[in-house]
Amino acid sequence: MNFIKIKFTIYAFWIIRGTLYKILIIHMLERTNCIFLCSSFTHYINQYKNSTMGLVGKKYPHISAGAVINGEEIVENFSLDQYIGKKYVILFFYPKDFTFVCPTELHAFQAKLEEFEKRGAVVIGCSTDTEETHLAWLNTPKEHGGIQGVTYPIIADTAKTISLNCGVLGGEYVFNNETRTWSFVGNPVAFRGTFLIDKEGIVRHESINDLPLGRNIDEYLRLLDAQLHVEKYGEVCPANWEEGEAAMFATPAGVASYLSQN
């Protein structure tokens, strides 16, 4: 097998990220003694495994996609990089525009937007719909099931790669070697994933709800308050902690003191 064909095959499968077929390619490369390519591809496999595991404590996956901002303007190449060193980010995924639970969540985030902004955070939504569909939904009144009045950015993950990289896509692509065709197993939309990202671009919280389960927006304010407290005071925040309550230092004496008073 010549080098060009092997390289093309590797890149094709890397884009689709079908784990089973990556393993088969590695086996094929080993049989053809392509040691260098096999080593490189193993590196890509490890990258893939890391990206699909939890993102907490890691840099958020790179995002560059179309989006609607200010409830009315379509922009290209919207990226979270613009907030590095400046803002905390609440990035939330939802399944589809023009659906049922989704508008209640988007309106709920909008209702709390000022509270997030007071804490130095931005709110960003994302689904696998197009920018044009986002805009149409934004122009639909609330009483007709729309999200008119929402002003924070909404990303259009039409390639589904953002959802895939963040581990919230509701299925996976599968290649049928006999028919030489691709199919999607599962639901090709995003689950209700939510990520708290600090000013350095590190994910500090992630949670994923199934499609029928709406979020409690106040919980993300509480988590943001906790992150701000940890950074400011060097303390850790116990169960059910809320702003203004006692926290503790992460030491035996600290937990003993806290538990003796609570």
pLDDT tens track of the chain, all 262 residues? 444 444 444 444 444 444 444 445 544 544 444 444 444 433 443 444 444 569 999 999 999 999 999 999 999 999 999 999 999 999 999 999 999 999 999 999 999 999 999 999 999 999 999 999 999 999 999 999 999 999 999 999 999 999 999 999 999 999 999 999 999 999 999 999 999 999 999 999 999 999 999 999 999 999 999 999 999 999 999 999 999 999 999 999 999 999 999 9
Positions annotated as catalytic residues are 102
Domains of the chain: 3-52 (no CATH), 65-215 (3.40.30.10), 216-262 (no CATH)
Question: Coil, helix or strand for 59?
Answer: strand
> Would you state the pLDDT for residue 32?
47
Nearest-angstrom CA–CA distance, 146 and 107? 9
> Would you state the pLDDT for residue 116?
98
For residues 85 and 181, the answer to whether their CB atoms sit within 8 Å is no
Question: Coil, helix or strand for 229?
Answer: helix
Nearest-angstrom CA–CA distance, 206 and 196? 7
* In the block, residue with structure tokens 């404590």: 57
Can you read off the two tokens belonging to residue 20? 């089973």
Length of the chain: 262
Nearest-angstrom CA–CA distance, 159 and 63? 12
35: left (phi > 0), else alpha (psi -120 to 50), else beta? alpha
Nearest-angstrom CA–CA distance, 13 and 25? 9
Distances (CA, A) of 161 to 151, 158, 221, 257: 24, 8, 27, 47
